[in-house]
Amino acid sequence: MIHAQGVAAVTDDDFDDEVLKAGLPVLVEFTADWCGPCRQLAPVLSALAAEEADRLKVVQLDVDTNPQIMARYGVLSMPTLMVFRGGEPVKSMIGARPKRRLLQELEEVIRPLSRRPENGDVKNGAPASA
C-alpha cells in the first residue's frame, strides 16, 4: 500500500472500531499499490491529517489485502475517498484531487457540530425545516 505519512492504516478486522465508532468524522482512502493516482494523493492526505486532526480522522485501507470492507461499501475504483460520520458513510469521492479542492468538498461534513442547525433551529430568520 502507498502509505501517506501520518495516516493510519485500517483493515477488515479493525475498520468498525477505528472508523464506524470514531468520535470524529473519518476520511477513508481506499487505495492499492498499483494505483497511480493514489500516489499523487498521499501527500495531500498527509497534509490533511496533520492540519485537520481536530476535526477529521484520516485513514487508509489497502483494497488488495482487505476485500471485505471494499465489497461492503461497493468500492470499485481507486482511489475512492469516503467520509464516515456517526458510523455511516456521508460522502464519497473518486479520484485524486488537490488539497484545496478536497478541503472544499469536505467542509460540509467536517465543520464544527455547533455550526450545523438542527430541526427547529433558526437560520436566516426561518426554521431550518422550512
CA distance 16 to 35: 25
Strand order in the sheet with 26-31: 8-10, 57-62, 26-31, 80-85, 88-94
| C-alpha cell at position 31 | 487505495
Based on the residue annotation, tell me whether 96 is a catalytic residue of this protein. Answer: no
DSSP for residue 48: H
Cα torsion 81, 99, 6, 87: sign: negative
Based on the residue annotation, tell me whether 38 is a catalytic residue of this protein. Answer: yes
Q: Which of 4, 10, 35, 63 is catalytic?
A: 35
Q: Which of 38, 41, 58, 63 is catalytic?
A: 38
Bridge partner list, 62 = 31
3 state DSSP class of 26: strand
CA end-to-end span of the chain, whole Å? Answer: 47
Residue corresponding to grid cell 481506499: 30
Would you name the residues annotated as active-site residues? 35, 38
